[in-house]
């Protein structure tokens, strides 16, 4: 889908030659002096005065072949205070009111909104989300018919930055959705590696893919243990984007890439096991973020690490009670083979240290406990680095992709103690999202590290089943904020941990 940014007054919007107009009307309704006398301003005034256009956020009024307009269809929708969150809700409601199969070119009129990059970006994201269709393995699905969206704003020059970020976010989110939505036999570790290689052809990018022999040579015994039960060979994907001088330390993103999770010997119940194709949502979000970086080319260095494999229960599979040695040299008693994500991430986190990063953020559909704690609204955030946690939270709020910080008190690690290894890989049900994060913390040493548990936010179940593309917006906004801080010389290293990893 192509987006085009244009300066549009209400009068110019009335003359826009498109299949449909979606006009956002904030609480401060136009008046004759402010908007001039034109077909659109008069229509908004009249329907508001007579009560046909309700005032609550998201309320809409649809018109077919309205007099004085070139557009065949038009939907007016209330945008509340015009904030980014209100705009997102308004566009979602307005898109539902359009007869989309007949709309190839849409005019998205934001000319009445307060100036702001955030509202432009939110409108574009909502428009793309409302029209997204997965077709890769479903040829009977009706592909997206909307091909072009003209985004009308009061002054295009003042909205170009938000527009560019919006375009990149749409690209990144849809890239992540595509790979997370694919069935496991269409998104194997080798296929993910091929997708990463294609990204690596972009200017400033480089991709390296390691197989089982190279991973074994690195001593990644924990990662190898998870992969050994599958006929599909593991892949360790290393993506690099170099947008800044080599002297600048990179941000490292680590994405969990379990392309299918049966639970292994600790096998999952059959009901809804198909959704375990989404267990590579962290990997998909890293790929999506790199796809967005390719469009924006910001001045920052980023490394993406994706340990990818299947978790299967064949005769070679790791068993409960087995002890493996991680790349860090620490031994792990695998008490539950369904707690496999942390086993592949821990070796990737150890590997991340070689880049001497300014920060490391791992992203994983890690625990059902996080779904219980936070639902599908916010991703779970864990870090003992206050500045890093605050930066990620701020980025999430800016991008309308929020997270919530949970504790990492040392006492939560007590349940990970083992009689037969340096640690167990589980610590019981209580505080499961926290104890999983405490396990990962053992492999971060003095790294400025944060963990995002996206088990509740990476996909939707039920009739709307499908990937969300989160937290690509959060990650991209965080990277853009870091790039801006480095550019202005305000970048600071993350503050030291207040307590040592346990």
pLDDT band at residue 29 under the 50/70/90 scheme: low
281 pLDDT more than 90: yes
Stronger pLDDT, 408 or 502, i.e. the higher one: 408
- pLDDT tens digits, residue range 207-263? 999 999 999 999 999 999 999 999 999 999 999 999 999 999 999 999 999 999 999
Active site residue: 342, 438, 442, 470, which one? 342
Task: Please tell me which residue in 160, 197, 240, 268 is annotated as part of the active site.
Answer: 268
E strand or H helix that includes residue 257: strand 257-261
Structure tokens at 154: 């009061």
On the question of pLDDT at 288 being above 70, the answer is yes
On the question of pLDDT at 32 being above 70, the answer is no
User: What does the alpha-carbon distance between residue 120 and residue 5 come to, in Å, rounded to a whole number?
Assistant: 10
Residue with tokens 């821990």: 346
Confidence of residue 489 (pLDDT cuts 50, 70, 90): confident
Start-end of H helices in 304-441: 341-352, 368-374, 386-398, 432-441
What pLDDT, in 10s, does the model give residues 405-452?
999 999 999 999 999 999 999 998 999 999 999 999 999 988 999 999
End-to-end CA distance of the chain: 48
Residue 110: strand, helix, or coil: coil
Q: Percentage of residues in the chain with pLDDT exceeding 90? A: 87
At residue 171, the pLDDT reads 98
Render pLDDT for 57-104 as a digit per residue (tens, 0 to 9): 999 999 988 888 999 999 999 999 999 999 999 999 999 988 677 899
Neighbours of 17 (CB within 10 A): 10
Q: Name the band, by pLDDT with cuts 50, 70 and 90, for residue 488.
A: confident
* Per-residue pLDDT, 30: 56
Higher pLDDT, 303 or 115: 303
With contact defined as beta carbons under 8 Å apart, do 13 and 112 qualify?
Answer: no
pLDDT at 494: 42
Average pLDDT of the residues of the chain: 94
Element (H, E) at 91: helix 84-97
Question: In terms of C-beta density within 10 A (0-12 exposed, 13-18 middle, 19 or more buried), how is residue 206 classed?
Answer: middle
In this predicted structure, the answer to whether residue 492 has a pLDDT above a threshold of 70 is: no
Q: Are strands 2-7 and 148-153 parallel, antiparallel or unpaired?
A: parallel
pLDDT band at 31 (very low <50, low <70, confident <90, very high): low
* DSSP per-residue string spanning 412-473: GGGGG--SSSSEES---STTHHHHHHHHHHTT-TT--EEEEE-TTTSEE-GGG-EE--TTHH
pLDDT confidence of 49, banded at 50, 70, 90? confident
Mean pLDDT to the nearest integer, 269-278: 97
Domains of the chain: 2-156 (3.40.220.10), 170-487 (3.40.630.10)
- Cα distance between residue 330 and residue 110, in whole Å: 56
User: 295: part of which helix (H) or strand (E)?
Assistant: helix 281-296
Rounded CA separation 275/456 (Å)? 12
Position 115 scores a pLDDT of 78
Distance between CA atoms of residues 303 and 249, nearest Å: 10
Q: Active site includes 268?
A: yes
Q: Which of the four pLDDT bands, split at 50, 70 and 90, describes residue 37? A: confident
Confidence of residue 490 (pLDDT cuts 50, 70, 90): low
pLDDT at residue 25 greater than cutoff 80: yes
- Whether residue 101 is preceded by a cis peptide bond, meaning omega within 30 degrees of 0, is no
Mean pLDDT, residues 340-364 taken together:
98
Band (pLDDT 50/70/90 cuts) for residue 50 is: confident
**What's the mean pLDDT in 118-143?**
95
Per-residue pLDDT, 499: 40
What's the alpha-carbon Rg for the chain, to the nearest Å? 24
- pLDDT computed for residue 351 by the predictor: 98
Question: Is 406:437 a contact under the CB 8 Å cutoff?
Answer: yes
Contact between 277 and 260 (Cβ < 8 Å): yes
CB 473 within 8 A of CB 400: yes
How many residues appear in the chain? 502
pLDDT of 148 over the 80 cut: yes
Q: In the structure encoding, which two tokens stand for residue 386, read together?
A: 């206050």
- Amino acid 36: pLDDT: 57
Is-catalytic flag, 342? yes
């Amino acid at each position: 889908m192509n987006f085009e940014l244009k300066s549009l007054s209400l009068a110019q919007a009335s003359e826009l030659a498109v299949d449909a107009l979606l006009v956002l009307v904030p609480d401060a309704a136009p008046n004759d002096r402010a908007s001039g006398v034109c077909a659109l301003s008069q229509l908004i005034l009249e329907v508001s005065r007579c009560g046909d256009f309700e005032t609550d956020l998201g309320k809409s009024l649809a018109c077919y072949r309205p007099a004085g307009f070139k557009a065949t269809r038009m939907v007016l929708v209330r945008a509340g205070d015009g904030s980014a969150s209100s705009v997102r809700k308004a566009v979602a409601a307005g898109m539902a009111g359009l007869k989309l199969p007949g709309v190839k070119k849409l005019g998205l009129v934001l000319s009445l909104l307060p100036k702001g990059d955030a509202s432009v970006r939110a409108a574009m994201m909502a428009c793309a989300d409302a029209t997204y269709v997965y077709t890769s393995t479903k040829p009977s699905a009706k592909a997206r018919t909307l091909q072009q969206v003209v985004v009308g704003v009061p002054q295009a020059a003042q909205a170009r930055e938000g527009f560019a970020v919006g375009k990149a976010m749409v690209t990144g989110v849809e890239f992540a959705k595509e790979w997370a939505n694919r069935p496991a036999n269409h998104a194997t570790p080798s296929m993910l590696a091929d997708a990463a290689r294609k990204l690596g052809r972009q200017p400033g990018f480089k991709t390296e893919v390691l197989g089982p022999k190279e991973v074994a040579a690195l001593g990644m015994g924990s990662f190898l243990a998870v992969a050994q039960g599958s006929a599909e060979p593991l892949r360790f994907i290393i993506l690099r984007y170099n947008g800044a001088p080599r002297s600048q330390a990179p941000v490292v993103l680590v994405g969990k890439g379990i392309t299918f999770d049966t639970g292994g010997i600790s096998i999952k119940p059959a009901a809804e096991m198909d959704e375990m194709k989404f267990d590579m949502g962290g990997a998909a979000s890293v790929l999506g973020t790199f796809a967005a970086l390719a469009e924006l080319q910001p001045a920052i260095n980023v490394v993406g690490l994706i340990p990818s494999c299947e978790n299967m229960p064949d005769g070679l599979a790791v068993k409960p009670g087995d002890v493996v040695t991680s790349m860090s040299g620490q031994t792990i008693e695998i008490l539950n083979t369904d707690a496999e994500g942390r086993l592949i991430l821990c070796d990737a986190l150890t590997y991340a240290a070689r880049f001497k990063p300014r920060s490391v953020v791992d992203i994983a559909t890690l625990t059902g406990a996080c779904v219980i704690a936070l639902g599908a609204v916010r991703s779970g955030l864990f870090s003992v680095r206050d500045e890093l946690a605050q930066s990620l939270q701020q980025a999430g709020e800016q991008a309308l992709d929020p997270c919530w910080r949970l504790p990492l008190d040392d006492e939560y690690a007590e349940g990970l103690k083992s009689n037969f290894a340096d640690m167990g890989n589980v610590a019981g049900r209580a505080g499961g999202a926290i104890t999983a994060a405490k396990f990962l913390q053992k492999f971060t040493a003095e790294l400025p590290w944060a963990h995002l548990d996206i088990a509740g936010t990476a996909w939707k179940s039920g009739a709307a089943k499908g990937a969300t593309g989160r937290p690509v917006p959060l990650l991209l906004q965080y990277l853009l904020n870091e790039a801006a801080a480095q550019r202005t010389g305000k970048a600071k290293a993350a503050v030291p941990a207040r307590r040592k990893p346990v």
